[in-house]
Amino acid sequence: MALIDMMQAVLENSGLLALWQTVAPWLALDERQLIFVVATPIFVGVTLWEYLKIRHDPALMDTREAVRNFALGAGYQTTELLFAGIIAFPVYALCYHFRLFDLELNWFTAFLTFLGVDFCFYWMHRASHRMRWFWAAHVVHHSSERMNFSTAMRQNATNIFNGMWMFYLPLALIGFNPVWIGVAYAFSLVYQFFIHTTLVGRLPAWVEKVFNTPSHHRVHHGRNPGYIDRNYGGTLILWDRLFGTFVDEDAKDPPEYGITRPVASNNLIVLWTHEYVDLFRDMQQPGGLLSRLKHLWKPPEWQRPAAKEPGQEHAQTDPATDNP
């Protein structure tokens, strides 16, 4: 028996092949995270290049924070890989089973998939600023007071649990394959990594008109009153122009990064959960069940009159200033 046959026999008798046949479809469904994981070394390399450019300016770069941002991103990737197959993908499979159309993959439907994902991302992102339950997960991305490539990695490990993935379900119902929805979403995330920087100024006018750019995204991360809750686009900025949420970067009003209620901790668990703690604390205030539940879908700054008592000046301000 050849050595390769012996090795094959060991593998077959181990039971791992049967396990792989179960796991492989799961991983295939999560192509989005696999693409993101594969791209991470590129992100690290680009971040190191940027670090060499701005490391002497503490307003732009803090080494410990950059490392912390990648740790936050690693937590996000881990929970997505472990739980997306259990939580989200069965729902996508159900929607796709009852799809309205059978769409073959070609260049045209691939473009429609990209366009549909970008459109859904806009509304998901907008909701994650204007609905407190979603904001509770998204806030970590905005809580840094610096704008650099590592900030793009600053994500919440709870994302898979709070349901923002549901915004893409209509695409599966229409007939877009969930695997390709995930692929389009992953490439959108890869693109968005590169717009988290202060090193790139204005791009050619036609690019600024159509695409989300570093200039547009700096506005999105600004807590300046005029910048809060603006420029939600993923790859395209067209949706913001269409739905009235676009604001141009003003050289006379440079973005001040961060959220309106800064987090007084660098602990990863606190960064991931502090807004959930505030949310549930507000829901515990006296009142009827419906009034308490309203905190889940009302904007982050919303407070019930009954909750505004002495000593509760922490009341949420605007979400985008608490926003990405």
For residues 133 and 115, what is the distance between their CA atoms, to the nearest angstrom?
26
- C-alpha angle 297-312-144 in degrees, rounded to nearest 5: 65
Count Cα neighbours of 19 within 13 Å in the Cβ-side half-sphere: 6
Cβ atoms 175, 101 nearer than 8 A: yes
In a 3-state reduction of DSSP, which class is residue 235?
coil
Cα torsion angle, 216, 166, 164, 129, sign? positive
Q: Which two tokens stand for residue 297?
A: 């879908």
User: What is the C-alpha radius of gyration for the chain, rounded to an integer number of angstroms?
Assistant: 22
How many other β-carbons are positioned within 10 Å of the β-carbon of residue 314? 11
Residue-wise pLDDT tens for the chain (324 aa)?
Answer: 577 777 677 767 776 667 666 665 655 556 676 787 788 889 999 999 999 999 999 999 999 999 999 999 999 988 988 888 788 888 999 999 999 999 998 999 999 999 999 999 999 999 999 999 999 999 999 999 999 999 999 999 999 999 999 999 999 999 999 989 999 999 999 999 999 999 999 999 999 999 999 999 999 999 999 999 999 999 999 999 999 999 999 999 999 999 999 998 999 999 999 999 999 999 999 889 999 999 999 999 999 885 444 444 433 444 444 444
126: which strand partners? Answer: none
For residues 32 and 315, what is the distance between their CA atoms, to the nearest angstrom?
37
**DSSP H/E element including 273:** helix 268-283
Question: Considering the entire predicted model, what is its pTM?
Answer: 0.86
Cβ atoms 139, 322 nearer than 8 A: yes
In a 3-state reduction of DSSP, which class is residue 275?
helix
Give pLDDT, residue 19: 67
Cβ atoms 169, 92 nearer than 8 A: yes
For the chain, the helix, strand and coil percentages under 3-state DSSP, each to the nearest 5: 60, 0, 35
For residues 31 and 167, what is the distance between their CA atoms, to the nearest angstrom?
18
Q: Which two tokens stand for residue 254?
A: 């440079």
- C-alpha angle 305-125-308 in degrees, rounded to nearest 5: 10
Give pLDDT, residue 89: 86
Q: Which residues have C-beta within 8 Å of that of residue 303, sequence separation ≥ 6?
A: 282, 312, 315, 316
For residues 303 and 137, what is the distance between their CA atoms, to the nearest angstrom?
19
Give pLDDT, residue 267: 94
Q: What is the largest CA-CA distance in the chain?
A: 82
